[in-house]
Structure 1
Amino acid sequence: MTESFRDTRSTENESMLAEISLGACLMSEQLGRDTFDARVLDAMRAVPRHAFVPLEMQPHAYHLRPLPIGFDKSIANPLIVALMTDVLRVEPHHTVLEIGTGLGWNAALLSRLARQVYTMEIVDELAAEALERLHRNGFGNVELLLGNGAEGLPRHAPFDRILVTCAPQLIPPALLAQLAPGGRMVVPAGLPGEQMLMLVTRDADGHARVADILPATFGEMDRAELSGSM
């Protein structure tokens, strides 16, 4: 990679981050403040989005828009990713479960914030491609598993944080059960056209509470995964 290419991508990334910071101001009501956590922005600065999109999408990698990645899947709008990651409040000692790896960008971001990230993908080809991209870019504290995201990953539970990047109609009970006391889960859920991005918190006694963040539009959780929801 030439220096000029790196410089161009770095400039595009900084422009994206400036737009994201502006977006935080516009989302101040949902955030309770007018800026995203500096650690989240630093992670987005350090993880090149263009490295986690198909080659033909790289010219658009730093635009505030979702991008197709194949198999009727997409990589989410960076502003929404920043919001979800900020609300998740990941700490350096946390173990995080992500549902819906895609090509690995979200998992890479989370790996900059957490001790360990487990990420699940149901599409074989995407999982293989994501694993190669994560390894190529040096994200060693991410373990990628092929499987049904609605079932979660009970053998590694409980999780301090859970991030779901595809939308079930209802929050899968298995994911609720695998959220640790004091944990937080960010998940979009609902019928197509009626989805809501939500924050699930579990208190020290294990009681779960759900709060709406904002209306959202995400790709639906695959039918094979939806069978795990109630």
Structure 2
Amino acid sequence: MIPGTIDVVVVDDHAIFRSGLKADLDSRLRVVAEADTVERAVAAVRAHRPAVVLLDVHLPGGVGGGGAEVIAGCRDLLGSTRFLALSVSDAAEDVVTVIRAGARGYVTKTISGAEISDAVVRVAGGDAVFSPRLAGFVLDAFGTAAVAAVDDELDRLSARELEVMRLIARGYSYKEVAKELFISARTVETHVSAVLRKLQLSNRHELTRWAAARRLL
């Protein structure tokens, strides 16, 4: 093993896709095992304890829970092993189900090899990663109101600061946030500075981890 490489288990029921994915992953990652069913996936994760599991959401076996069932079968390992869903599906139900189960992110199979490699590295480092369109499903599902009731840190933020915080934590640039919210990039920068100060965070990476821990992404 090359020092610094990230161990990965690839879970997908299509052998051709697994082969192509392994070939596309860069040298920072090492595939230590593959699996094609719920039962084999749980066994592989438990045997190898990888840093990240690339997990399809629809899998044969188990009791029909697919990727979410794999995560449930490894729930005691979530502190050290992180799950990144990788699927052809961009359905809101699939996204929400696997994130609710404990996945740290969800990207679609249209992603490039370089992008998925970067996503794995980010997830291994504690970040949450979503394809931009899918992040909205998670936000809609978990909402702010329910979280704010139990997390008084959110009460420190204004409604606009909360909007900016979500987008920045999801990986949007200042210009993209400005375009999304119809405000200037300078105003976005001002809001980000205020958010970091109020939450006592140092940078956007800490903000992403903060938001992910509260399932606000």
| TM-score in same-fold range (> 0.5) | no
**TM-score (ref. length: structure 1):** 0.28
- Higher helix proportion (structure 1 or 2): 2
